[in-house]
Structure 1
Amino acid sequence: MRIMKKVPVKQILTEKSKQKLAHDFEKQKNQLDQECQQLSFEKRKIEMKQNVSREEVSKRFQREIDRRRERIRWVEYKLEQLQVLPLGSEITEDEVETLVEVNVGDDWEILMNEGAIIVEDGKVIRIDE
Structure 2
Amino acid sequence: MSIRQPVTVKFILTEQTKQQILAEQRRQIEQLTAELDQVELQGKQALEQAMAQGGPAAQEVRQQVEQARNQRLEQREQVIQQIQQIQQLELGTELQNMTVETMVDVNVGDDWSKVLMGAEIIIKDGIVHEIRRGGQPV
TM-score (norm 1): 0.86
Query: Which residue is equivalent to 1:79?
Result: 83
Residues of 2 paired with 1:102 and 1:63: CA distance?
A: 51
Letter in 1 for 2:17: S
- Gaps in structure 2 of 5+ consecutive residues: 134-138
Of 62-71 and 21-30, the range deviating more from structure 2 = 62-71
Distance 1:87 1:54, change over 3 A: same
- Gaps in structure 1 of 5+ consecutive residues: none
Q: Calculate percent identity across the aligned residue pairs.
A: 32
Q: Is the 8 A contact 2:5 2:118 kept in 1?
A: no
For residue 87 of structure 1, give the secondary structure of its aligned residue in structure 2.
coil
Distance 1:51 1:4, change over 3 A: farther
Question: How many Å apart are 1:103 and its aligned residue?
Answer: 4.9
Query: Which residue is equivalent to 1:58?
Result: 62
Q: Does 1:9 align with 2:9?
A: yes
Query: Which residue is equivalent to 1:69?
Result: 73
What count of residue pairs does the alignment treat as equivalent? 128
Distance 1:125 1:60, change over 3 A: same
CA-based RMSD: 2.0
For residue 48 of structure 1, give the secondary structure of its aligned residue in structure 2.
helix
Q: Structure 1 runs of 4+ off > 4 angstroms?
A: 102-106
Question: How many Å apart are 1:102 and its aligned residue?
Answer: 4.2
Question: How many Å apart are 1:41 and its aligned residue?
Answer: 0.9
Residues of 1 paired with 2:33 and 2:64: CA distance?
A: 18
Structure showing greater Rg? 2
Letter in 2 for 1:78: Q
Q: After superposition, where does 1:17-96 map in structure 2 within 5 Å? A: 17-49=17-49, 50-51=52-53, 53-96=57-100
Letter in 1 for 2:71: R
